[in-house]
Structures are given as structure tokens and as C-alpha cells.
Structure 1
Amino acid sequence: MTELLLKYVQTVQEKIQSEKTYQTQCPYCSMQCKMAVVEQKSATKTSYKTIPVDNPTSEGRLCVKGLNAHQHVMHRDRIKQPLLKSDGKFIPVSWEYALQVMKDKFQEIQMEYGNDAVSVYGGGSLTNEESYLLGKFARVALQTKYIDYNGRFCMSAAATAANQAFGIDRGITNRLSEIEQTDCIILVGTNIADCQPTIMPYFERAKENGTKIIVIDPRETATAKLADLHLQLKPGTDAALANGLLKLLLEVKAIDETFIANRTNGFGELVDHLSSITIDDVVEKTGVAYEDLQRAANLFGNEERGMIFTARGVEQQTDGYMAVRNFLNILMITGKIGKIGCGYGAITGQANGQGGREHGQKADQLPGYRSIENQEHREYIANVWGVKEEELPRKGVSAYEMMEKIHEGEIKAMFIMGSNPIVSNPNATYVKDALEKLSFLVSVDMFMSESGKHADLILPTTSYLEDEGTMTNLEGRVMHRPASKEKPGQTKHDWEILCEVAKVLGKEEHFSYSTVEDVFNELRVASRGGIADYYGMTYQRLMEGDGLFWPCPSVDHPGTETLFEKEFHHEDKRSRIIPVTNEADFRKERVSEKFPLYLTTGRVMSHYLSGVQTRKSAALAARDVESHVQIHPETASEYGIDENVLVCVESQRGRIIVRSQYSKNIRKDTVFIPFHWGDSQNVNDLISNELDPTCRMPGFKVAAVTVSAVDQFYTEASV
């Protein structure tokens, strides 16, 4: 009996000793779901399982991406040591040698062409600390004005619209939990069922409580199936549709005159503008029936509480900023903001899309959502950083415009951290050509991406299981992400890489951090007094609680859960209403005889952004092994396209080959292609280089294309 007991105890001890648990957060979407990854080792193998962890945002839920995120971390293709391109091939080199190469190349280029000849391109999945440090690295270590990031393609339209309308941009102006307390919700261009699945129960419970849901989308997505009313508009006509709703709300007097009088500016100009617009014109432009517009206006206007959510469908347009502004006009004239169950939500796409745009990655920003062109802001940050104000560069250009600067010869080198611009930019072939033109390209990544293949030097970085830091989710809730897994091989954290590069460039005194918490503490000071004020947050507060909402100006402040309860953040404390034209933006492509179909793009549930990480997860790659074109069966028949065959999709800029997928849930004049694949399936090869004039967002959601069966296309091409 004693021998059996000893064996049992030994077995239990061996199991305990062979099992490790890593507390962390999902590295993918902006919900930032908490999780624990359990590593179990036996004599023959190591296995992993992911367990959801309860928290106020995702309430202990995980989607298929989160459950399988660990698979890419363990993938055999992970880059674990610096790689230098020599004679067209990558060879391993030491960190010491890699750093020396960077020093020599950057200094050589800047000495010949000036500081701005070196550029920095960041990502929306970096931690707050690394986003902050990347901006400081560009402006202090490299002293270049050219820095921007891939969040430009995600949140710029909504962020600019909220800043201009309200004076502040935080993804959601109140808490997710208030979704269940509202009476009517408008979802514009957002397919949360596939893009942020763990948020869906909030909307499902709201519907059970009697909340009416209106979805505005050219496709009948899984999200649209939840709707009481689906407005299936033509791609790119969102601004006109909002004008129709505004006009109908005025006609039935479903407005809050007290709120308008006391808390807004510009209402009179809006009324004058709408008097020149006819509902018939809106119906013709959008393809949405008058009865449906009227029903939508009545549903939203007659309820006491309402919320509007936007996402990439409305924002990724060359008039995305103005389209979002028009939906914010709806909120303001109905007074549905700044109180419980009322508000605006921009459904952030990337993991740290919110925090990533607050602390200096954008071309025109300094930490705390300060402006790089504001003298007072410049002086404050220069003082924090210990540099002279006049040494700080001025604003640069947007992410895509940096590619134009390469073609123009102004930018000669680029340092990319956490991004894959060949797949994420519009006019992708042009972007690939730009990267090939560079004299020197550095890519900091976990894997060999489509962009990394063109690099001269690749630096190996750590994953979400290894890299501790803070992230800001779609609510504006800042959370601590623990990470205790040992770094594999010679990988380094992004913040460590930036510090080491800065050191060899002679800027060590400005980058002498020992821990990531040191970086965060400087970020707190740099953000103090800014719009995005993190000063009152400490690692201890974040680790002990459920996160804190910004602004949080002091260590005894509870954080600001609901914005605009008493005032907006403009100097006069009022929000801004503006007229928005009903005409289609001239930058948008029109369908034609040669290109008769609208193309719109988006996500599928199993993949994330350019797919570099999710395509390395076997369970996720197996769900969607290749791209596809979603096409209505009647349209497919008209173009001679069978189901599940290879199809050539062509625009003015190029062509790609994808597989056909029939769907009656899409407009007959529209096709849809996801954007997670590169090379011959890179849908951004088809997208125009035109940008929104205000926020510099590309028009990913509208392009004019034609489709043909692959054998038909090549037969015609050879004739």
C-alpha cells in the first residue's frame, strides 16, 4: 500500500513539474480576451491547451483564433536569430553584427541624404510601451519626420471624425456593458460576428431585452442576420444614406432640441444643407428602398436610448471621414451620447489599434494624443525626452504616402516593426516596387512575411506569450498583459531592439530602460495632461484590477468609463455638427462597361490582418486555406463562372486569382474578397491609391472590377 501511495505521489509530482501555465491575452483583435495557455510536457511530446479567463470585456469567452493563437508561437518557421541578406539569400548573423550593419547603413544614408531619408513603419499590435518607444525612436534616435503605421488603414477615419466632432477619440465612448441597456443600435459596415466574435453576446442579449438592431452593409453577413432591419446599400454610399436618415429624422421631429441648443454647434447649417437633398436621390444613390429608410429613422429616432457603431466597411473609403461624421451627426441631433445606454463605438480592428494611435506612431502625433505641430505640446514632450524642442522633427506623411516618397527618392531606408505593408497597403504592386527600391530595409518580425522577403536585415522578435506590456482595448480600457514564457533562441522584445539600435546610434542616454515597466512609467509622464492621459495608471493598479479607462489623470482617479456626460472636449465644451455632401466622392471608382462590378474587401473569422501569424496556425489555416471571391449565383451565371473554380478578378491596377464562392447574401452588383493573403491572391493589388483628403485612409471598400473564369481569361488574353 505504501509503495502504491509513493508511486501515486511521484506521478502527481511529475505532472506538476511538467506543467506550466502562462497567463496572457489574445494577440489578435481589439477585445483583448484574457487567457491561460497550459504547457504539458511528457517524455515524448509537448502539448498546449488554451483556457479562457474571466474579465469584464470578453466575460471569459474566446473565439477560434484565440484558442489556437499559441500554434504560431511554436511554429518551426519562427525566426530566432538575425538574418542578413547576402547574394540574395538570408544568412544568420550575430546581434552585434546586425546592430553594426544598421548603424553603418543608417548613418551613411542620413549623412548623404539627410535625416528624413530613413523612415519608420509601425504596427497596431505593438504594446503601448513599444508603440510609444517606436515614436520616440524615430524622432530622437533617428531624428526623422517619417513615421506612420498600419493603423492608418484601420482607424484613421473614425479617429479623425471623433476628434473633430467631440474633441477626443476613444474607441467606445462608454462601456460595452451598456449595449444591453440601449433601445436601438445602428451597426454601420461592421461584421462583428466574424471580426470580433466575443463581443456578439452583448448584442444578442440586447436583442433578447427588446433592443432593435439596424445593420448597414452591402452583404448579409452573420452580423446582419441578427438585425431587425438590414439596409443593403451599394458600396461607398454610406454618407448619402446617413443624409437620408437625417432628413427623415428632421421631418418627423425625432430630434433632441434641448441637447442641440445646449451642447452642439452647426445644426442650422445642417438643416440648410438637408433642405437641398431629396429622399428620392438618396434612394437612387444607395439602392435602399424609401420604406426601409423611413423604418430605420423611426426605429432610431423614436427610442430614448441609442448607440451607433462603425467599422471598416464605412471607414475604409476615400470619404470615410465624412461618412463617419454624418453618422455622428445622427447621434448629436437625437441627443444620444454622454448618458447611459447612449454613445458611439468605433470597433477597433487591431489588437492595440486604440493604444497604438495614442502615443506617437502616427505622422502628426506625440504621446498622449498630442499634436506634433502644437508648440506647447512639442515643448512638453521635448522636456520629458530631454531634448531641445527645435530638434524634434515636424509631421511627416501617412503610411501609403511614405511609399510614394520612396518612389520619389526622398526616403532611402525603412525600419518596419510589426507590419507587412505589401499585403496591408492599397496598390500592392506599387508598394512592393517601393520596398525593392530602398537602399536598406529592416524588418522586425516573427516570420518571413511577404514584405520581409525584400528586407536586407530581419530581426527576430518575441510573441505575446513572451512579451509583457500593456494594451488598450476597444473600450479604451488599459490592461496589463503578463508574459512569462522564455524567449526562444536569440529573439528580443521589440522595446529591447529599439533600445539596442538607439544605443549603437549614440542615443543610449534617451533609451536606458531596464524593464518594460520603466518604459510605461515614462509613457505615463509623457501622456500627462494630454487627451489620452495615462498618468494615473501604474503597473500595480493594472495588475491588481480589471484595467482602467483613460483619461486617468491621477493615481487615485478611478478612470473615465463614460465620456461626454457633461461636456465635450472642444474649447467651448460643445460638439460639432457639419453638413456632408450627398454626392459620391470623386476619388471613388465608378463601375464601367469594362469594370462593371463593385469590389469590397474584409475579413474571415479564422484569419487576422495580413495572415502572417494565423496562416502559421494549423487549426486556423485548415479552416481557410486560400482566398475566395464571394459572388451572387445570378452574377456568376452571367459571367460564366461555376462554383468553386478559379476566377480571375481584374481592376485597372492588376489581377488576382481566387476561388469562386456562391452567396445569395451579397448584392448582385458586388463581389467580396478577404485580405489575409499575399502574392497572387493579394486583393490589395486591385485597390486604388486614392486617399481620403482628411485622414489619408485608402478606399479599400470600393473598387471597380470584372471577373472571368481563369481558362476564359487566359484564352481571351492569348488571342
Structure 2
Amino acid sequence: MQSLLTTTNVLSHCCFCSMQCALELTVDGDEEIVRAHPAPAFPVASGKACAKGVFAHEHARHRERLTTPLLRQGDRFVPISWEEALNRITERFRSLQDQYGRDSVAVFGGGSLTNEKAYLLGKFARVALGTANIDYNGRYCMSSAAAALNKAFGLDRGMTVPLSDIPLARCILIVGSNIAECQPTMIPYLRQAKAGGAKVIVVDPRRTQTAKGADLHAAVRPGSDVALMNGILHILLRDDLIDWSFIEKRTLSFEAVRETVAAYTPERVAEVTGVPASDIEQIARWYGTAETAIIFTARGIEQQARGVDNVLACINLVLATGQIGRPGSGFGAVTGQANGQGGREHGMKADQLPGYRMIDNPVDRQHIANVWGVDERELPGKGMSAYELFEGADRGDIRGMFVMASNPATSSPNTHLVKRALQDLDFLVVTDLFLTETAQFADVVLPGSAWTEDEGTMTNLEGRIVLRRAAQRPPGEARLDWQILCELAERLGKGSFFAFEETEDIYDELRRASAGGRADYAGASYQKIAEQQGVFWPCPNESHSGTERMFADSFAHPHGKAVFHAVTHRPLSEEPDRDYPLHLTNGRLLHHYLTGVQTRRTSRLHARDPHPQVEMHPATAARYGVVAGETVEIATRRGSVPMRVKITADMREDLLFAPIHWEHAESINLLTLADLDPISRMPEFKHCAAALRKWKGDSVLGGVRV
């Protein structure tokens, strides 16, 4: 009881979605967190948190938490010392690189790492290992939106407006985003907008919780998003609801778009999308006549092999109406992961260096080389994207891999191939909190740090840099992730480049590395972040307060203008047919997160959804003769998965929906398609052709090396 009387409150930020709601962690004298509650008055969520946030600390002390390094011996793991673990990793990585080349060892990171750890992991790959091959699970999340934003605006900051602008909008078009379940504390902003007279439109094949609160729900046929957006723009042009002055003064390449959308009449688009022509007309009228408007997109249209085109089609609407750069008007790609924004800015992507500099740009390379104190010629070039790393491992080009805080054996598409690739690696190291499905393939597992133990910054969906304070030390022999990287770098002979004593030292180097880049953090010190309750980037110097609203005067291209891109509707990579007559899509549930590693170990969250269920329309269930609660087999050309049935009218009749939060035989990614967007290298997660069958209990579900 004595420890409970000596409690302290630590200001932190939730480890889950991209809202990064502020939490106060009440910590007792034994470093146990006895309570987590929303921090009052923090501007992002205004003293609110969802159920995940309130219980977010529980998994950090779960009984399955790893507390000592583990070594594979046959089909089991045995504890070993840190000395043995680090020596073995160093020796094996050196041996593989000596034999097969520097790029034969790859690094794979996670989108929930702090900015400091994301930065350090990129530097570790390129300086300590000297490999080009580093990517992260954000490639599966934000890469299509990032590519589209860069092409159109010249800069990828997911939201061009702060959250506080949402209530000012008079029309909000949400395309492929289930905000109510994925970013619950964002919903009050939408309610405020509606109270002010805004029309809210949701485009989604499912009538999600978000769609139920909308003024209009367009149940679009999977894969027809470009057709719908082009059809809306067709009507805007027909009815002269276009901002011609904005187009002339601030954009390029509109004529090609104008010519392209001429063929997308409401009647044709209705046939392609399944959305009634009258609804398409209404969407165009509401959006085109609104004084202020915001378009939000998310994984529904981004996790496709045409994801970049989908987002560009939405941005074309924004530019054609001039709805950007003003209060209440803009575009937002709603980031999914906790640090999906910051993680892609500071060097974990295969083609990027810190500050959103590009690895194939000589000027960018020289800047980073100067900050790191290395010869620019020693920096590797562009490496493979996330899924391509596993294809490389499957071919034998990648021989070793270091995975930190990610579970690609479950989160990747077509995981049969990914698991085979992990199994065939000569040497795999995984740093994580638990023995995840990926960790079960490892040769060495290192016990890393939880969010309650890490100090550092995160960048939320609106581009606000926030500061997370540590409330606990890692349990047992577990170590802070950044210290593990520094120790490995020391043993690899590069310790002088990783001589950091605390996370603020890493962050200060990150600021120097980002200075003058597109994602400029140079003026956003720890002190300023704390004082201002977050700082929006770009923030180029100490006297700058940060940039809440983007593109008020110019865009980030050298010519200062935004660029239209003409895109056309194309068929899905895998259309339904006689053998696989249904569309299969996937997504998140309110009480779980990503592959469920954390939330399935949080008892009060897991109890809400203990098993995955496949959702289908009552007419679909009747056609196949199945009932609620029955176990069925979902099959695609890549395999089959058993899943319980949930019947709901909130679905198209040609659609199956399954959640993504389970591992092993319950993982829906055993079935998903790995076709990649040609620009972003995003896999086709959201669509594949599927069949529904009676469960016989004898399907092959994929193996796990344990």
C-alpha cells in the first residue's frame, strides 16, 4: 500500500492510432501504472480517449512480455545473455554480408516507433550495416497517399489542415475511411461540423459506423473509386461549380483532367460504381456549392494496386474547387498508425532519407552525409519496398533480416510467401515485446521497450509533433530499443556514429538532418513541443511557431503550383468470377489494432472481440445457406481460412469483410493479393476474389516454425 501513496502523474500519448491523444499515466512507487486517463485540455482530443487509450498501458506488463534475449535451439527458444545475443547477431550479419554483399541483410521497422527510433533505425541500416534494404510497415499503410500528395502538392503531410479546422467545413467527403472505429476521438470534430450545418458524405462499400452518421452513404462497388471521383468532377464542370481563378493561378495540367472526365457521365458512373446517379449528383452539388470543404481518404482507397490513382482523383476535386489553403478547406489522408506520419519522414522508407529527403537526390545525400559525418559515396542507394523484401528473401537475394517492432508475418499480403521467406532466411533477428508470429521464425529474439518506457516524439495525423514521456523502465533484462541499436552499431564498428546518451540527443541530430528538407523539424525542440502542446511541421527555426495550415500561398513544387493528374478507372487486379464470385475486403475493429499483438493481450479489449468474424449481407448468407455464428471457409486463390459468420445488412451483397487483428490460422492476410501499385508499391490488400464454402475442417492454413 505504501507505493500507492507515492504516485506520480506522467504526461504521455497513446500508443495506438494516429490521433495521439494525450494521456496522464498515474504511476506508483513500484513503477506500476495504476491508471490511465485522458489529459485535460490537450488540444488534439480535448480531454477524451477511446477504450483502447484508457487500457493502452496494460499490455506493457502482460505475463507474456519478453524479458530476456532468446536463442532458437531446434523448435524451441532458450534464454541467453545480452552479450551472447549481440555477439551472435554481429557475427552472423558480418558473415552474411562478407559472403553475399552488404544488401543481403535487410531491416524492417514499424510505424509505431517514435521519431527518434525511426530515424535511428534508418541510420543503423545505412551506416552500421551499410545496406540499401530498409523499409517499414507504413509501406502497407500510407504509401499511396504519400505518393499522391507528393505528386499533386509537392509535399506529403497527411492533413493539410489542423483538426480544429474540421468544424469550419460545410461539406466533408470521407472516402474509404471508417473514422468511428479507427480514430474514434476524431468523431466529435465531425459532429461539431454537422451541428454547424455541414453535409457529411461517406463513400464505402460497407455501411460502417462512420457511414451511419453521414447525410449520404455511397455504397461504392469495390475498386471503382476513380470512376466515382471522375463522375463527381464531371458534374462540377457541367454545372460550372469550378474555381477557375484558382485553377489558373495556382495549378497546372487541368486540361488533361478535363478531357478525361468528360466521358464519366452520371449514368455511366452509376453503372460502374453501383451508386445511383441521383446520389452522385447530390454529392457533387453539396461539395461544389459548399463555402468550405474537406476531403478525407484512408486505407479503403489507398490499400489498392491503383491506390495512388484513387487519391489523385480525390485531390483533383480539391484543386478544381480551390478548396485548400483556407480555414475549413483542405485535404486529409487520415494516417492509420501511431507514428505513420513521422515514421515515413525520417528514413525508414527504402527511397527516403531524414527530413523527407530523397535517397537518389545528390544534394539530399550530401546534406545527410554531412550531418552523419560520413562520405556521401558510402551511403547506399534505393532499396526494396516492404513486400519486395520478402520476395527478395524468397529468391535468396536477402539472407538476413533485422525486424524491429513489426509483425510482417501477419501484416503482409499473401503471407504464405512471407512465412516461407522468413523460414528460409539464413538469420533472422526480431526485437519486440512478445513472441509474435514473426518472432516465432527468428533465430534470435531481443526484448525491446514498450511505449510506456520510451521517451521521444511522435507526429500525429495532422502533422503535430508531440512529446511522449517515459513512465516505467523495461522489465527484467528488456532494454530500450534505441539503446539496442546503439549497442549493435558499436559492435559493428560504427559506435562513434551512435554515441547518444539520451533520446533528446537523437532528436537534436534528427532536427539537424531535417533542416531545410520538406519535413523540417529544425525549430521544434523538446522545450517548444512541451510549451506549445505540440508543434506542426514544417518548423524551420526557433522563432517559427510551426505550420498548422498548409499551402495558403503556394505549393511545395519548385514552381509553387499544384499539379492535376488525369487518372482513369481500370479493372481490379483480380475480378470476381464463377469460382470466386465475391469481393473480399478487410479492415480494423474498434477494440483492436493492427495485428492485435497489443490489444489481444489487453483483457478488457480482447473480451469485446475475442475471435475474428466474417461479415456478410443476409441475402448472401441465405444464398450460401449459412447462419450467424456458424464457421465457414473463406477461400481465395492463395488458400482458405475458417471464420465465424456475422450477418449484417450494412454490407453490399457481393462483399465479404474480415478484420485484420489475428495471427496464424485466423489471419486474413493468408488470402490477400500482393499485386503492387506501380508508384507506391502498396499491395492490393482491400480487394481480392473470394469464395464462401461450408467448413469441413480440413483446409491447409499455413505452417509456423516454432
TM-score, with length taken from structure 1: 0.96
1:50 equivalenced with 2:39 (yes/no): no
- 1:689 positional shift: 1.4
Note the C-alpha offset of 1:551: 0.4
Q: Which amino acid aligns with 1:668?
A: E
Q: Classify 1:581/1:505 alpha carbon distance in 2 versus 1 (closer, same or farther; 3 Å).
A: same
- Residue 277 of structure 1 and its aligned partner are, at CA, apart by 3.3
Residue 32 (str. 1) matches residue 32 (str. 2): no
1:188 maps to 2:159? no
Partner of 2:75: 88
Structure 2 residue 255 is matched with structure 1 residue 268: yes
Output the CA distance in 1 between the equivalents of 2:522 and 2:646: 50
Q: 1:530 aligns with which of 504, 514, 517?
A: 517
Corresponding residue of 2:373: 386
Moved more, 109-118 or 83-92: 83-92
Q: Distance in 2 between matches of 1:278 and 1:547?
A: 45
Output aligned runs, 1:48-197, within 5 Å. Answer: 48-54=34-40, 55-197=42-184
Which stretch of the first structure deviates more once superposed, 269-278 or 397-406?
269-278
**2:413: which partner in 1?**
426
Residues 387-402 of structure 1 aligned to structure 2 (within 5 Å): 387-402=374-389
One-letter code aligned to 2:18: S
CA distance in 1, matches of 2:51, 2:105: 39
Deviation at 1:713, TM superposition (A): 8.2
SS in 2 for 1:51: strand
Distance in structure 2 (CA, Å) of the matches to 1:583 and 1:677: 32
CA contact (8 A) 2:33 2:57 kept: no
Q: Which residue of 2 aligns with 1:3?
A: none
Partner of 2:592: 607
Which of 684, 687, 696 is equivalent to 1:699?
A: 684
One-letter amino acid matched to 1:21: N
CA distance in 2, matches of 1:29, 1:558: 25
Which residue is equivalent to 2:627? 642
Q: CA deviation at 1:46?
A: 6.9
Specify every segment of 5 or more residues in structure 1 that has no aligned partner in the other structure, as ranges. 1-10, 715-719
State the one-letter code of the partner of 1:578: H
Supply the distance in 2 between the matched residues of 1:518 and 1:39 (Cα, whole angstroms): 26
Aligned to 1:690: 675
TM-superposed CA distance for 1:24, in Å, is 1.5
Once residues 578 and 163 of structure 1 are traced to their aligned partners in structure 2, the CA distance between those partners, rounded to angstroms, is: 12
1:406 paired to 2:396 = no
Instruction: Please give the secondary structure, in 1, of the residue aligned with 2:557.
Output: coil
CA shift digits 1:406-437 (9 cap, x unpaired): 11111000000010001110001110000001
Provide the C-alpha distance between the structure 2 equivalents of 1:679 and 1:370, rounded to a whole number of angstroms.
37
CA distance in 2 between counterparts of 1:327 and 1:576 reads: 13
Q: Which amino acid aligns with 2:675?
A: E
| Contact residue 371 and residue 512 of structure 2 kept, 8 A | yes
Q: Secondary structure at the match of 2:484?
A: helix
Q: Is 1:670 aligned to 2:659, yes or no?
A: no
The Cα of 1:647 is off from its aligned counterpart by 1.0
Q: 2:704 maps to what in 1? A: none
The equivalent of 2:664 in structure 1 is 679
Give 3-state SS (helix, strand or coil) of 1:368's partner: helix
Alpha carbons 2:355, 2:514 under 8 Å: kept: yes
Which SS does the other structure have where 2:569 is aligned?
coil
CA displacement, residues 211-254 of structure 1 (integer Å, 9 cap, x when unaligned)? 00010000001100111111100111111110110101100010
Provide closer, same or farther for how the CA distance between residues 655 and 179 of structure 1 changes in structure 2, counting only shifts above 3 A: same
Q: Distance in 1 between matches of 2:190 and 2:216?
A: 14
Paired with 2:661 and 2:11, the residues of 1 have a C-alpha distance of 28
C-alpha separation between the residues in 2 aligned to 1:674 and 1:222? 15
Any idea what the Cα deviations from partners look like across 1:331-363, whole Å, max 9, x if unmatched?
Answer: 000000011110011110000000000000000
User: Is the CA contact 1:78–1:446 (under 8 Å) kept in the aligned structure 2?
Assistant: yes
Q: CA deviation at 1:679?
A: 1.1
**Alpha-carbon separation, structure 2, partners of 1:19 and 1:554:** 38
Alignment partner of 1:656 is 2:657: no
Is the 1:160–1:169 Cα contact (8 Å) retained in structure 2? yes
Shift of 1:180: 0.3
Aligned partner of 2:331 among 335, 344, 353: 344
Partner residue of 2:616?
631
Aligned pairs for 1:279-358 within 5 A: 279-358=266-345
Deviations 1:368-415 (A, max 9, x none): 000000001001101111111110000011100001111111100000
Q: How far off its partner does 1:280 sit?
A: 2.5
Q: 1:640, CA displacement in angstroms?
A: 1.2
1:226: which partner in 2?
Answer: 213
Question: Is 1:206 the counterpart of 2:223 in the alignment?
Answer: no
Aligned AA for 1:37? Answer: L
Shift of 1:37: 2.2
Matched, 1:242 2:208: no
Distance 2:544 2:233 in 1: 38
Instruction: Give the distance between the partners of 1:688 and 1:51, measured in 2 at CA.
Output: 40
- Which residue of structure 1 aligns with residue 11 of structure 2? 23
C-alpha distance in 2 between matches for 1:330 and 1:390 = 43
Contact 1:24 1:464 in 2 (8 A): no
Deviation at 1:41, TM superposition (A): 7.6
Q: What is the DSSP-based 3-state SS (H/G/I as helix, E as strand, rest coil) of the residue aligned with 1:647?
A: strand
Contact 2:628-2:647 within 8 A present in 1 as well: yes
Distance (whole Å) between structure 2 residues aligned to residue 707 and residue 580 of structure 1:
33
> For the residues of structure 2 that align with 1:188 and 1:274, how far apart are their CA atoms?
19
Q: Which runs of 5+ in 2 are unaligned?
A: 700-706
Tell me whether 521-530 or 477-486 shows the greater mean CA deviation.
477-486
Cα offset for 1:541?
Answer: 1.2
Paired residue secondary structure (2:26)? strand
Rounded Cα–Cα distance in structure 2 between residues aligned with 1:141 and 1:556: 35
Show the counterpart of 1:439.
Answer: 426
Give the counterpart letter for 1:215 in structure 2: V
Amino acid in structure 1 at the alignment position of 2:202: V
TM-score by length of 2: 0.97
1:162/1:169 contact within 8 Å kept:
yes
**Any idea what SS the aligned residue of 2:355 has?**
coil
Equivalent residue for 1:254, pick from 241, 258, 272: 241
Determine the C-alpha separation between the residues in 2 that align with 1:382 and 1:700: 36
The 2-side partners of 1:442 and 1:91 are apart by 14
Q: CA deviation at 1:48?
A: 2.1
Which residue of structure 1 aligns with residue 702 of structure 2? Answer: none
| Contact 1:167–1:575 (8 Å) recurs in 2 | yes
Q: Secondary structure at 2:209's aligned position in 1?
A: coil
Shift of 1:681: 1.1
Q: Provide the C-alpha distance between the structure 2 equivalents of 1:537 and 1:689, rounded to a whole number of angstroms.
A: 39
The separation in 2 between residues aligned to 1:610 and 1:80, in whole angstroms, is: 21
Deviation, structure 1 residue 15? 6.9
Query: Are the equivalent residues in 1 in contact too, given 2:109–2:137 (CA < 8 A)?
Result: yes
Are the counterparts in 1 of residues 467 and 534 from structure 2 also a CA contact under 8 Å?
yes
